[in-house]
Amino acid sequence: MRNRLQWLILTTMVIAALVPLLGLAIYITSSPNAKDFFINHTGTVLTIGICAAAGIAILGTLLLWIKIIRPIKRLTRAANLLQNGETAPQPIKTARNEIGDLIRAFNKLRNQSQTQLDRITRERSRLSTMFSYINDSIFIIDENRKVLMMNKAAETQFQIHDDLYDGDKTLIKIVRDYEIDNLVKKCIAENKQQTGLVELRSQNKIISVTVTPLSGEKRFMVRIQDYTELKKLQTIRQDFVANISHELRTPVASVKALAETLHEGALNDPVIAPDFLGKIVIETDKLSQMIEELGELSSIESGSVPIERKPTDLAKIINRSVERLTAQAERAGILLEIQSARLLPLVLADDHIEQVIINLVHNAIKFTVTGGKVTIAATVQDNSIIVSITDTGIGISEEDLPRVFERFYKADKARSGGGTGLGLAIAKHIISAYGGSIWAKSIEGKGSTFYFSLPMAI
């Protein structure tokens, strides 16, 4: 019993020793025996008190870490992720206290930010997709003319590789043209859209450049459109108008001069009148042929001419076409021969193919000098038949060769006599309607070869 009482007194002393350690004061009264016991066991009491205080401190610190410090650290880490535009972790569990209120407010902000981030990501993906389908080259640059974004067309046109610029992706280093750079500088300085046509000498192209400030940002969009084909088409249109005017002017002027001469009295001259009337008929025939071929070409282009793709005996049509032109070749002193197989596979075409062959052979005869030769050949290649018409004539210059299939285009004065200048254009459209191709090769002064391909009727 005494031992129990001593341990009870000891426990009381320990508690009394802990109270001052916690900053509190308490007055304890005890019996003399208890005092003696306390004096005799002071070291033990203090040791136990210090250990108990340390344990309570550690427990308090752990609770403080669990309840306050750890949630705040997780909250700080999630906030930093949001600040860097990254995805924050799932909402943090909250307690019912002030820290919990803060975390709940953050979770709400996190959800709203994630929704906005998802929306921005979708918009950026949609914008990137739109950029990739635009054929024009597009750059997004900053006020220092550094490229921030570009589409696939820009990468392809300017052959952009990441290892090519050593981190320096300024627009001038990519496009290497100071006219473009000057338009960009002017747009940045004036904050107004700038446009201009530029000859891109490095690529031998004519381009349209538009530099536009982006609203609310120090960003600028540079759009580069390739106008090379458009300028070429404009040139072709101008040449077409000039050529058709020339082709019409010559026979009309001749008819007018002949008619005026007859009207002034030559009609009664038995020698001059028949000659002049014959010339009028020839000129009007030329006009009629030109009008007819223009109408035919227009009909073929519009699809109103019923061109069929049906199994056709090409060898038979080649032989028939050559027979029709043999007399003309003989009169010109030109050898006309066929070097194609007797039995060629059937092709997908119709009787219009005869008009193509006649036009090409007729041209070859017309521009081959006496003693020359025109050869028609046909060979099988993959699933097509390639027909070639080769002459030993005057040839075509390298500059004119790409344009020989344009309507009314005539390479030079030596090739301008006779005809309407529409035969090759008609041939091209007929072959295209069959799903084939037509092209030419020539060496000036040594002759030309015209080719066309037709799909086989497999």
Q: What pLDDT, in 10s, does the model give residues 413-458?
A: 444 455 567 788 888 988 988 999 999 999 888 899 999 999 998 7
pLDDT in the model for residue 213: 92
pLDDT in the model for residue 281: 86
Instruction: Rank 83-97, 329-343, 400-414 by mean pLDDT and report only the highest.
Output: 329-343
Tell me the C-alpha distance between 258 and 279, whole Å.
8
Mean pLDDT computed over 370-392? 92
Specify the fold of 134-226. Answer: Beta-Lactamase (3.30.450)
Confidence label for 173 from pLDDT (cuts 50, 70 and 90): confident
Domain range summary for the chain, segments of one domain joined by +:
134-226, 239-302, 310-455
Mean pLDDT computed over 332-346? 84
Q: What is the β-pairing status of strands 347-349 and 373-381?
A: unpaired
Statement: residue 41 has pLDDT above 70: no
Mean pLDDT of the chain: 77
Query: Using an 8 Å Cβ cutoff, are 240 and 407 in contact?
Result: yes
Of 416 and 257, the structure prediction assigns the larger pLDDT to: 257
Statement: residue 340 has pLDDT above 90: no
pLDDT in the model for residue 284: 85
Query: Using an 8 Å Cβ cutoff, are 455 and 434 in contact?
Result: yes
Q: Encoding tokens for residue 33?
A: 């025996």
Specify the fold of 310-455. Answer: Heat Shock Protein 90 (3.30.565)
**Which range among 239-253, 279-293, 311-325, 371-385 shows the weakest confidence by mean pLDDT?**
239-253
Specify the fold of 239-302. Answer: Helix Hairpins (1.10.287)
Phi, psi of 45 (to 5 degrees): -60, -45
**Which range among 274-288, 339-353, 411-425 shows the weakest confidence by mean pLDDT?**
411-425
Statement: residue 124 has pLDDT above 90: no
Of 307 and 216, the structure prediction assigns the larger pLDDT to: 307
Mean pLDDT computed over 65-93? 63
Of 129 and 362, the structure prediction assigns the larger pLDDT to: 362
pLDDT in the model for residue 186: 93
pTM listed for this prediction: 0.48
Number of Cβ within 10 Å of residue 111's Cβ equals 12
Mean pLDDT computed over 316-327? 90
